Chain A
Amino acid sequence: MTFQFDSINDFFNMGGYAFFVWASFICTFLCMAGVLIQSLVVSKKIKQGVQKEGARAERIMAARAQRKLKQQAKNKAQDPNNLENSEVIDEPKT
């Protein structure tokens, strides 16, 4: 297999058809790279979104647990003799 052109300039010139050949190849390359990069960018954004959603869910559940504990403490303070018999901590259902 031999290189078909005598020099690099000849290669770029493509026997006179430089504009057409290179325009086609560059457009193809850009379109394919474009669709690939767009898909990867969307993929990254989605993963970040999932992370954020998860972190938000964690924060909300932590806040809920805090509120429950505070409520418990307040109930205990108001009712030292354990009149209200409930010691149910609201666990998130798994």
Chain B
Amino acid sequence: MWKWINSFAKPEKAYWLCDVLQNWFAAVAITGLIIGIVWGLGYAPSDYQQGDSFRIIYIHVPSAILAMGAYVAMAIAALVGIVWQWRTAFMFMIAIAPVGAVMTFISLFTGSFWGKPMWGTWWIWDARLTSQLILLFLYLGVISLYSAFEDKQQAGKAAGVMAMVGVINIPIIHYSVEWWNTLHQGATITKIGKPSIAPEMLWPLLICILGFAAFIGWVTIIRMKNEIIMRDLHRPWVAKRFGGFEGSANLEGKQ
């Protein structure tokens, strides 16, 4: 029943799928982001405790959630690549890695800038920020391991193992950091626990999450297309698509 899915292991078919999906993701991303951010910045009621600085939530929460989500997607792609030997799965994995890392950085930056007016310091070792920091290191590890290998097939498998080891460790790290934080929490009391959020504030948040997710999808699709072409540079299908040439693969023997 699922045989047709195996056709996407071919880079050409995967490229076609990327082409089809790219504009949809772009449209959803742009509209979602514009609507969500304008609503959140201008029209959502301000928090009675935190004033207008809480509006940072509309970029902090989506980026934090999606940074984690992107890592899980990367790990699933790594699993597919290792188990079913799909080259395109490794291409997806390395395409989404930098985007996820940027999202993690955004969540750290906005978290820090949200924390300054709230807790009075730029950085605080609370469970969430610390987990995000470790997540950033995991991303950077996967990216550096991939770029350390010259043979990109090997690189994909190695980075895939690292991504899977990381994803198994994410819940362990998260709970251990949370536990560590409750141990050492003598001095500060976090005001930002788990507030129940009013619906007027919730809707722009959901739209922002959707917009951010679509943005990640959009950029990943562009990067995946780049990766596919770079890896398949000398194949005839690439040449045919981009100019109707016969292809440099036809160039063989002495010149």
Q: What's the dominant secondary structure at chain B's contact region?
A: helix
Identify the closest chain B residue to A1 (Cβ). B43
- Within the complex, what minimum Cβ distance (angstroms) separates B190 from chain A? 18
In the complex, chain A residues 28-64 whose Cβ is within 8 Å of any chain B Cβ: 28, 31-32, 34-36, 39-40, 42-43, 46-47, 49-51, 53-58, 60-61, 64
How many pairs, one residue from A and one from B, have CB atoms within 8 Å of each other in the complex? 135
Interface residue? A88 (CB, 8 A): no
How far apart are the CA atoms of A60 and B51 in the complex, in Å?
68
* B222 and A51 contacting across the interface, CB-CB below 8 Å: no
* A27 and B106 contacting across the interface, CB-CB below 8 Å: yes
**Cβ 8 A contact of B243, one of A14, A36, A51:** A51
How far apart are the CA atoms of A40 and B51 in the complex, in Å?
38
What B residues does A4 contact at CB under 8 A? 42-46
* A27 and B109 contacting across the interface, CB-CB below 8 Å: yes
- Within the complex, what minimum Cβ distance (angstroms) separates A65 from chain B? 12
Chain A interface, number of residues (Cβ within 8 angstroms): 43
Q: Given that A54-B243, A93-B252 are known contacts, is A32 also in contact with B215, CB under 8 Å in the complex?
A: yes
* A31 and B52 contacting across the interface, CB-CB below 8 Å: no
Chain B interface, number of residues (Cβ within 8 angstroms): 51
* B52 and A54 contacting across the interface, CB-CB below 8 Å: no
| 30 pairs from A and B in contact (CB 8 Å cutoff) | A11-B41, A11-B42, A14-B52, A14-B53, A14-B55, A15-B52, A16-B51, A16-B52, A17-B51, A17-B53, A20-B53, A20-B56, A21-B53, A21-B56, A21-B113, A23-B113, A24-B60, A27-B109, A28-B63, A31-B105, A31-B106, A34-B102, A35-B98, A36-B218, A49-B233, A57-B246, A57-B248, A57-B251, A58-B245, A58-B246
